[in-house]
Amino acid sequence: MAAGLVAEAGLSTLLVEREKVPRYHIGESLMPECYWPLQRLGVLDRMKNSPFVKKKSVQFVAASGKESAPFYFEQHDPRECSTTWQVERAEFDKMLWDRAAELGAECHDETRVLDVLIDEETDTCTGVKLRAGDGPSRTIAARVVMDGSGLQSIIANKLGLREEIPSLKKAAIWSYFRHAKRDEGDNAGATIIMHTLNKDSWFWFIPLQDDVTSIGCVGDYDYMLKSGMSPEERFQLELQRCPGLQSRLQQAEQIDKVRVAREYSYWTRQPAGNGWVLIGDAFGFIDPLYSSGVYFALITGQWAAEAVIDGFRKGDLSARQLGSWCEDFRRGSSLIHKLVQAFYTKEFSFGGFIRNHPEYRSNLTDLLIGRIFYDGAERIFDRMDPEVAQARMAAANE
Ligand SMILES: Cc1cc2nc3c(=O)[nH]c(=O)nc-3n(C[C@H](O)[C@H](O)[C@H](O)COP(=O)(O)OP(=O)(O)OC[C@H]3O[C@@H](n4cnc5c(N)ncnc54)[C@H](O)[C@@H]3O)c2cc1C
């Protein structure tokens, strides 16, 4: 996203990726608001003509197995962006990579950034050290480095800017299944979020192409990985403890190995410096729960690219210029963070909250869509914050 837009503006742009493209990645369910950055990049037609499964809703299933009514994006606000996609990331990311090349970026895969070079005297980024394949390391001078290295977060690690989010010390275990049962009609492509018994963990159910479904389980790190069970055993046990999955998996077969991600939630203290800026997961990652990661990567890529282009125009590549969009982003993304924290408060019930306060249903759907960057998006928390706090207090007093 970022490389494409910067190159389109006529700036000499180098995009490097350490893996061979296309490469596997988790993060398959898109939020509807991805529509706008994808439109900005000029890839909407490719998305519409792609075989990616169309996603029109999200649905929640309680620990008891009781299913909520699906949140249909279209019902809330009938617009073209109300349909989004469930994507195989290898194909999706390759499409973005190709688009960056079309727009003029020089793209090199199997090329690893070894270091980001920061001049100590001027506190300014001067370029990167990288290695292509098994070749020698080389230094590349650059006026700006945009760090989109995902959870590797090269610059934040180098400068000690990472802040873990202790309340979100989680782990995920997932795999792929064929012939898992999907709903009929408009809910067929839904992302379904299902609690396990006692809300000890939750599953995602993401329908992909060729009747394959991505099914993954998220829980506290110690519970998932430190209880003496292997990830495979923990995954099997949680499958059995998930009432919502029982009927869906009756005819299903697991077709891939079990994969694990751990301790991925963190934030960075400083999103930009002189000549550098962080985007996507390299800036921070909250939690897989609401599928916000790819949208955040796209929108930060777009906003950071606009700040870079503007900075070159003005001759200002300072931290303040390159990070000029970050406060808006922090404000909006903090709403998703709050929603995540509410979900992980065992004693708080989303279903109960919406039943008691139906006036917030459309506000909540906005958040689930990713429409979070407007004044008023935070309204729901006037009510939800005290109720979550009360639920936590009640639990603490038990
Ligand atoms: C368990 C789990 C489930 C998730 N599910 C969803 C979901 O359903 N929907 C959603 O939207 N998000 C989801 N996410 C989040 C999503 O995966 C990320 O937010 C998203 O991929 C971020 O994109 P990015 O471009 O910032 O980073 P990435 O997609 O991680 O890309 C970073 C790239 O940088 C490359 N790289 C790293 N270091 C170097 C280096 N030194 N030199 C060169 N290249 C390097 C990596 O190889 C990688 O290809 C999930 C995350 C987890 C952990």
pLDDT tens-digit readout, 83-140: 999 999 999 999 999 999 999 999 999 999 999 999 999 999 999 999 999 999 999 9
Average pLDDT, the chain: 95
The pLDDT tens digits of the residues spanning 288-336 come to: 999 999 999 999 999 999 999 999 999 999 999 999 999 999 999 999 9
Beta carbon of 58 within 6 Å of any ligand 1 atom: no
Of 86, 117, 146, 149, the residue with max ligand 1 atoms within 8 A of its CB, to mutate for a pocket test, comes to 149
pLDDT exceeds 80 at position 229? yes
Give the span between the Cα atoms of 350 and 352, in whole angstroms.
Answer: 5
Residue 75: predicted pLDDT: 84
Residue 28: predicted pLDDT: 98
Give the span between the Cα atoms of 254 and 81, in whole angstroms.
Answer: 33
Beta carbon of 112 within 6 Å of any ligand 1 atom: yes
Neighbouring residues of 172: CB distance < 8 A, sequence distance ≥ 6: 26, 216, 217, 218, 224, 260, 261, 262, 264, 288
CATH number of 59-79+170-262: 3.30.9.100
5 CA to middle of ligand 1, Å? Answer: 19
The pLDDT tens digits of the residues spanning 262-300 come to: 989 999 999 999 999 999 999 999 999 999 999 999 999
Residue 104: predicted pLDDT: 98
pTM of this structure: 0.97
Beta carbon of 285 within 6 Å of any ligand 1 atom: yes
Mean pLDDT of 342-359: 90
Mean pLDDT of 342-350: 90
327 CA to middle of ligand 1, Å? Answer: 22
Residue 395: predicted pLDDT: 77
Beta carbon of 19 within 6 Å of any ligand 1 atom: yes
Of 14, 15, 18, the residue with max ligand 1 atoms within 8 A of its CB, to mutate for a pocket test, comes to 18
Nearest atom (ligand 1) to Cα of 172: 1
Which percentage of the chain shows pLDDT scores above 90? 89
Which of these ranges, 2-16, 52-66, 106-120, has the smallest mean pLDDT? 52-66
Residue 40: predicted pLDDT: 98
pLDDT exceeds 90 at position 386? yes
Phi-psi map region of 58: left, alpha, beta (phi>0 left; psi -120 to 50 alpha) = beta
- How far lies 284's CA from each of 17, 271, 314, in Å? 19, 9, 28
CB 13, CB 7: distance < 8 Å: yes
pLDDT exceeds 90 at position 68? no
Give the span between the Cα atoms of 240 and 217, in whole angstroms.
Answer: 12
**More confident site: 355 or 299:** 299
Of 1, 15, 17, the residue with max ligand 1 atoms within 8 A of its CB, to mutate for a pocket test, comes to 17
Nearest atom (ligand 1) to Cα of 30: 11
Beta carbon of 70 within 6 Å of any ligand 1 atom: no
The pLDDT tens digits of the residues spanning 20-47 come to: 999 999 999 999 999 999 999 999 999 9
Beta carbon of 148 within 6 Å of any ligand 1 atom: yes
Neighbour order of strands in the sheet with 137-141: 111-119, 124-132, 137-141
Which band of pLDDT confidence, cut at 50, 70 and 90, is reported for residue 171?
Answer: very high
Beta carbon of 21 within 6 Å of any ligand 1 atom: no
Nearest atom (ligand 1) to Cα of 300: 26
Beta carbon of 342 within 6 Å of any ligand 1 atom: no
Residue with the nearest Cα to atom 27 of ligand 1?
150
pLDDT exceeds 80 at position 377? yes
Q: Give kind and range of the element (H or E) at residue 204.
A: strand 201-207
Give the span between the Cα atoms of 389 and 229, in whole angstroms.
Answer: 33
**More confident site: 361 or 112:** 112
- Domain 2-49+89-165+270-326, classified CATH 3.90.380.10, yes or no: no
Task: Name the residue ranges covered by the structural domains of the chain.
Answer: 2-49+89-165+270-326, 59-79+170-262, 345-398
297 CA to middle of ligand 1, Å? Answer: 8
pLDDT exceeds 90 at position 351? no
Of 19, 26, 147, 176, the residue with max ligand 1 atoms within 8 A of its CB, to mutate for a pocket test, comes to 26
Give the span between the Cα atoms of 78 and 85, in whole angstroms.
Answer: 16
